[in-house]
Structure 1
Amino acid sequence: MESQPDPLAQAIGVRVKRERIARGWTLDQLAERSGVSRRMIVNVEQGAANPSLETLLRISDALGMGLPALVEPPAPKTAKVTRAGEGATLWRGEQGGFGMLMAGTEPPNVVELWEWVLAPGDRHESDAHASGTREMLLVTEGAVTVSVGNDAYDLVVGDTVSFYADIEHTYVNAQESRARLVLCAYEPGVGIAHGAETDND
């Protein structure tokens, strides 16, 4: 029996289509701006796919809206509480880990707060993010190796690392026990360049 797309995938699809149409873009135009295939965008908009984290980042950057605005409903200008386990799970590891977006801000300067759990043997490889993006993480359980470009850093509980994430980077749990991280990502100027391009089209 074919598995059904989850509610998050369907909600993301609705938002992508709404934002694309609001900009007057065709599927081909969004595909060209994002570097994501037209077929994948169609699948995303129909809620028929559970897109990878990298695909969501490419689409949200192309739309100039930032990842939190793509995956979370608009928040009122009051405190927003996300209970444990209720964030948007946007990555699942082959060994059972996950990456969950817990909170985020709106453009143009987008801040994302993540909870990451890496099961033993889990590995997350990330493409280079938009220029100027930074990541900071704190290990709260276990141990993890963070590679940034050609450099690798072995971290244990209480250790932190911060780096520019506009180059390839990887998180690996090579230990025999679970690792847990709190990660903050900062992406400045989201939507500014895209807005200028739209005005000039």
Structure 2
Amino acid sequence: MRNEIAIVAEPVDARLAARLAALRAEQGWSLDVLAERSGVSRATLSRLERGETSPTASLLGRLCTAYGRTMSGLIAEIETEPAQLLRRAEQTGWTDPETGFARRSVSPPAAGLRGELVEGTLPAGAVVSYDTPPIHGIEQHVWMLEGTLELMVDDVVHRLGPGDCLRYRLFGPTRFACPGPRPAHYLIALCKP
């Protein structure tokens, strides 16, 4: 199984920036209101919406929480034509510029459905933390494909290896860490409440 995730950086980043700006406008929020709700500085939000910088996984997680969306849901919203079948080459990928964490939305985007599959690859030594869940009470299943992942949920650290699957409902912070020496490669099934 390949560990690389094909990323088409510029078009995805440009569509993501436009969608973030549109979401704020749809809510009728000023940059100051969004900064207060997300804990992200006004200046950073402005640069993100203008496409001058790419969001980190942590920052995107905060914005998704403020908007009540999963990260996969937000990525799906920037897709141009949702389809029932999504070939690997058509699946949207994104890489965190800070940690190298790569995620790929495996499931075809679809409004109104509650389940999603996301592929993640976390480089050795990398750590990604989320302060709050995107949707309170969301159910997640993390199935390890390769490598080792230390996943903290509810202040409990679970060490996962190939073939292991951790199922939980998310109400608080999470922390994904790859102790190495190889990248952690896994699938997450998200089930909205």
What TM-score does the superposition give when structure 2 sets the normalisation length? 0.76
Classify the secondary structure of the residue corresponding to 2:129. strand
Q: CA 1:54–1:121 in structure 2 vs 1: closer, same or farther (change >3 Å)?
A: closer
Q: CA 1:110–1:92 in structure 2 vs 1: closer, same or farther (change >3 Å)?
A: farther
Once the 2 structures are TM-superposed, how far is the Cα of residue 40 of structure 1 from its aligned partner?
A: 1.6
Classify the secondary structure of the residue corresponding to 1:103. coil
- Aligned residue runs from structure 1 range 90-109, under 5 A: 90-91=95-96, 94=99, 96-103=100-107
Q: CA 1:164–1:101 in structure 2 vs 1: closer, same or farther (change >3 Å)?
A: same
2: CA distance, partners of 1:164 / 1:7: 33
Q: Is the CA contact 2:85–2:108 (under 8 Å) kept in the aligned structure 1? A: no
Q: Sequence identity of aligned pairs in percent?
A: 23
Once the 2 structures are TM-superposed, how far is the Cα of residue 19 of structure 1 from its aligned partner?
A: 2.5
Q: 1:142 aligns with which of 137, 144, 147?
A: 147
Once the 2 structures are TM-superposed, how far is the Cα of residue 48 of structure 1 from its aligned partner?
A: 0.8
Q: 1:9 aligns with which of 13, 31, 34?
A: 13
Once the 2 structures are TM-superposed, how far is the Cα of residue 181 of structure 1 from its aligned partner?
A: 0.5
User: Equivalent residue for 2:4?
Assistant: none
Q: 1:183 aligns with which of 170, 178, 188?
A: 188
2: CA distance, partners of 1:76 / 1:7: 15
1: CA distance, partners of 2:108 / 2:66: 18
Once the 2 structures are TM-superposed, how far is the Cα of residue 162 of structure 1 from its aligned partner?
A: 1.1
Structure 2 unaligned segments of length 5 or more: list them. 1-8
Structure 1 stretches (4+) deviating beyond 6 angstroms?
Answer: none
Q: Is the CA contact 1:114–1:182 (under 8 Å) kept in the aligned structure 2? A: yes
Once the 2 structures are TM-superposed, how far is the Cα of residue 147 of structure 1 from its aligned partner?
A: 2.1
Q: Is the CA contact 2:120–2:188 (under 8 Å) kept in the aligned structure 1? A: yes
Q: CA 1:56–1:108 in structure 2 vs 1: closer, same or farther (change >3 Å)?
A: farther
1: CA distance, partners of 2:29 / 2:58: 21
2: CA distance, partners of 1:106 / 1:58: 22
2: CA distance, partners of 1:8 / 1:40: 18
Once the 2 structures are TM-superposed, how far is the Cα of residue 34 of structure 1 from its aligned partner?
A: 2.7
2: CA distance, partners of 1:34 / 1:10: 21
What TM-score does the superposition give when structure 1 sets the normalisation length? 0.73
Classify the secondary structure of the residue corresponding to 2:88. coil
Structure 1 unaligned segments of length 5 or more: list them. 189-201
Classify the secondary structure of the residue corresponding to 2:36. helix
Aligned residues between the structures: 183
Q: Which has the larger radius of gyration?
A: 1
